[in-house]
């Protein structure tokens, strides 16, 4: 469904990604893991269009979208929940969610999608009139995911959904993400919390220093002894 | 789809509407001298509303706004001076010329963010002044002197119509889907783009509107002064005064520019004779104090601390 082919990218002359090739299959949950500074978030910025690759291609549903501007990508079906949520603090929960239905194709069905998001995260219905800046970290993450869902995406792209959350909330959020995947949504998730991410994934890529160094089904990645030690320090 | 109202609809728009209608109805009976003061006040209010489109709504601080005013003024000066166009035509053409300039300038400068945009915007009036100085058709350093008479009532209704349009447009833009997009841009432009908000186009649209109205107002200004003079037309302190008005009144609000214009223009009018030369210092100090302690300006601060007013002021 979504493919990166030999992508090289960076910021102002500092190259971050060196030949990244990966694919997110339709209906599957793909995770991208790796330590800090491996280039995971940059990879996602290439996917949502905020960073232009200097070389390589981004292909979505058979269409080359390498040069498609960021604001046109949600309309094509790519919904991103950026790192640190990036909510609009002065808008209410519902305002943030409704902004997610900004692309043309999502406007007419926004009310139904909103109901769906509220069913997925009942807590958000209670907090609908509260300014997003006043929500707790977990609630903000729910808004971030909900806002991405509002555009009725074909693929949901999540950047570090566990960032800054208590362990209990992390597993709650991950259960919800897995639910979305069970409901048929394609998910691509970047995570530092490799262990938790691999447990709900169908396929994983490991990044280090701007390269994809390993890929495979989660059990294979978890079994790699040296990976555990080198990247994740999981005993 | 139904977009929820960003704020309770109405009272502020009603208030401004009634205020404008009353002014419009009374105008023929106002003696000439107070009427010229009122026209000057409204010119500043119109400029503040025009700047509010870009700086108030998106947070892109434009120090070079005066350049649009100058383009409007020169367009009126040239067309009325050489081809004897009616001043109203000059005002309309002035707005159009400034709109075209804004589209061209904005296509380039709006790619910069934050302080870089502000710096880029600062350059344009300086460039404009130096271009005009070497153009004999625009009078070079002499400027253009017109002889179009003293007609405060026509000035009044022209500027009155400009403000009414600006207020209506501001209201229409901020209430609804566009308003959500603009708030998103002001708050976090990259996040807005990731949600599908066409930020470049929306910013250019607002910048063009801001140019259009500043240009038209510049035309009215040239009409009232019966001439255009380069040093005055590109005077950066005009830009600063407009900024001061929206900062003091409340950035991005519907009432802010009007309140700010009154708050800045009337005192400076009275202090003019008392503290000659210190006017800018006083305005500067007030802006610093407001930016430091009450960043929401008059309207924003009232909304924040007086919950009862939240439904009324916007």
Q: Which residues in chain A show pLDDT less than 50?
A: 235
Chain B: closest CA distance from residue A130 (Å): 13
> What residue has token string 């806002």?
A147
3-state SS assignment for residue B296? coil
Where do the structural domains in chain A lie, given as residue ranges? 1-77+184-229
Taken in order B74, B79, B84, B88, the sign of the CA dihedral is: negative
> What residue has token string 């990244």?
A20
Q: Which residues in chain B show pLDDT less than 70?
A: 1-9, 271-273, 275-276
To the nearest 10°, report the CA torsion of B34, B36, B38, B39: 170
Whether the CB of A91 is below 8 Å from some CB of chain B: the reply is yes
Please give the Cα distance from A178 to A198 (Å, whole number): 11
3-state SS assignment for residue B104? helix
- CA-based end-to-end distance of chain A: 35
Where do the structural domains in chain B lie, given as residue ranges? 20-235
The answer to whether the beta carbons of residues B151 and B234 sit under 8 Å apart is no
Best B8, B175, B194 member to test A by mutation, with max A CBs in 10 Å, is: B194
Dump pLDDT digits (tens) for A67-103. 999 999 999 999 988 877 789 988 899 999 999 998 8
Plot region of B226 (φ>0 → left; ψ -120 to 50 → alpha; else → beta): left
Cβ–Cβ gap B195/A98 under 8 Å? no
Whether the CB of B111 is below 8 Å from some CB of chain A: the reply is no
Cβ–Cβ gap B190/A82 under 8 Å? yes
Chain B: closest CA distance from residue A12 (Å): 15
Cβ–Cβ gap A102/B199 under 8 Å? no
Please state whether the predicted TM-score (pTM) of the whole model is above 0.95: no
Chain B: closest CA distance from residue A196 (Å): 26
Give the model's pLDDT for residue A9: 92
Give the model's pLDDT for residue B131: 94
Q: DSSP string spanning A123-185?
A: HHHHTTTSBGGGS-HHHHHHHHHHHHHTT--SEEEEE-TTTT--HHHHHHHHHHHHHHHHTT-
Instruction: Identify how many contiguous H helices and E strands chain A contains and give both numbers.
Output: 11, 10
Please give the Cα distance from A11 to B67 (Å, whole number): 34
Chain B: closest CA distance from residue A178 (Å): 22
Q: Among residues of chain A, what percentage have pLDDT more than 70?
A: 95
Burial class (CB in 10 A: 0-12, 13-18, 19+), B157: middle
Best A99, A105, A111, A144 member to test B by mutation, with max B CBs in 10 Å, is: A99
Chain A: closest CA distance from residue B185 (Å): 9
ipTM over 0.95: no
Give the model's pLDDT for residue B10: 76
Whether the CB of B3 is below 8 Å from some CB of chain A: the reply is yes
The answer to whether the beta carbons of residues B255 and B314 sit under 8 Å apart is yes
Please give the Cα distance from B208 to B79 (Å, whole number): 22
Please give the Cα distance from B103 to B208 (Å, whole number): 6
Tokens of A216: 């495979």
Give chain B's radius of gyration (CA, Å): 19
**Contact residues, chain A, for B4 at CB < 8 Å:** 94-95, 98
Whether the CB of A83 is below 8 Å from some CB of chain B: the reply is no
Its CATH architecture, for the domain A1-77+184-229, is: 3-Layer(aba) Sandwich (3.40)
The answer to whether the beta carbons of residues B227 and B146 sit under 8 Å apart is yes
**Contact residues, chain B, for A49 at CB < 8 Å:** 193-194
Cβ–Cβ gap B194/A86 under 8 Å? yes
């Amino acid at each position: 469904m979504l493919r990166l082919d030999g992508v090289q990218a960076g910021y102002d002359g500092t190259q971050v990604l060196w030949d990244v090739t990966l694919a997110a299959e339709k209906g599957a949950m793909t995770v991208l893991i790796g330590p800090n500074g491996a280039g995971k978030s940059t990879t996602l910025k290439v996917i949502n269009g905020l960073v232009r690759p200097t070389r390589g291609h981004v292909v979505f549903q058979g269409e080359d979208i390498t040069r498609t501007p960021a604001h046109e990508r949600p309309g094509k079906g790519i919904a991103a929940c950026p790192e640190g949520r990036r909510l609009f603090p002065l808008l209410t929960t519902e305002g943030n969610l409704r902004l997610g239905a900004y692309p043309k194709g999502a406007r007419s069905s926004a009310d139904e999608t909103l109901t769906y998001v509220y069913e997925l995260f009942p807590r958000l219905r209670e907090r609908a009139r509260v300014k997003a800046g006043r929500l707790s970290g977990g609630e903000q993450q729910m808004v971030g995911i909900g806002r991405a869902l509002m555009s009725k995406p074909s693929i949901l792209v999540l950047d570090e959904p566990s960032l800054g959350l208590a362990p209990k909330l992390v597993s709650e959020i991950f259960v919800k993400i897995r639910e979305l995947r069970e409901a048929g949504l394609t998910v691509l998730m970047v995570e530092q919390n490799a262990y938790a991410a691999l447990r709900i994934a169908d396929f994983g890529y490991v990044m280090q220093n701007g390269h994809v160094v390993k890929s495979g089904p989660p059990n294979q990645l978890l079994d790699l002894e040296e990976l555990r030690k080198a990247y994740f320090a999981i005993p | 789809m139904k977009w929820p109202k960003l704020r309770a609809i109405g009272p502020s728009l009603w208030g401004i509407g009634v205020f404008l209608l009353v002014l419009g109805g009374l105008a023929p009976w106002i003696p000439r001298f107070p009427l010229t003061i009122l026209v000057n006040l409204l010119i500043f209010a119109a400029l503040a509303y025009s700047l509010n489109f870009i700086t108030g709504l998106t947070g892109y601080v434009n120090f070079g706004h005066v350049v649009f005013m100058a383009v409007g003024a020169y367009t009126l000066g040239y067309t009325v001076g050489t081809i004897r166009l009616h001043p109203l035509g000059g005002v309309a053409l002035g707005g159009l010329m400034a709109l075209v300039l804004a589209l061209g300038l904005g296509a380039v400068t709006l790619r910069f963010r934050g302080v870089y945009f502000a710096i880029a915007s600062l350059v344009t009036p300086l460039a404009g002044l130096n271009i005009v100085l070497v153009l004999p058709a625009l009078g070079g350093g002499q400027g253009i002197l017109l002889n179009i008479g003293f007609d405060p009532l026509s000035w009044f209704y022209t500027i009155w119509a400009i403000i009414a349009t600006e207020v209506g447009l501001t209201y229409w833009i901020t209430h609804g889907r566009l308003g959500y997009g603009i708030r998103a841009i002001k708050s976090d432009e990259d996040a807005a783009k990731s949600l599908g908000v066409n930020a470049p186009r929306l910013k250019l649209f607002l910048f063009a509107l801001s140019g259009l109205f500043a240009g038209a107002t510049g035309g009215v200004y040239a009409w009232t002064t019966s001439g255009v003079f380069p040093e005055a037309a590109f005077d950066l302190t005009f830009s600063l005064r407009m900024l001061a008005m929206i900062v003091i009144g409340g950035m991005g609000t519907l009432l802010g520019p009007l309140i700010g214009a009154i708050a800045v223009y009337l005192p400076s009018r009275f202090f003019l004779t008392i503290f000659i030369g210190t006017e800018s210092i006083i305005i500067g100090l007030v802006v610093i104090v407001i930016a430091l302690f009450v960043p929401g300006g008059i309207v924003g601060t009232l909304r924040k601390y007086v919950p009862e007013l939240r439904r009324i002021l916007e």
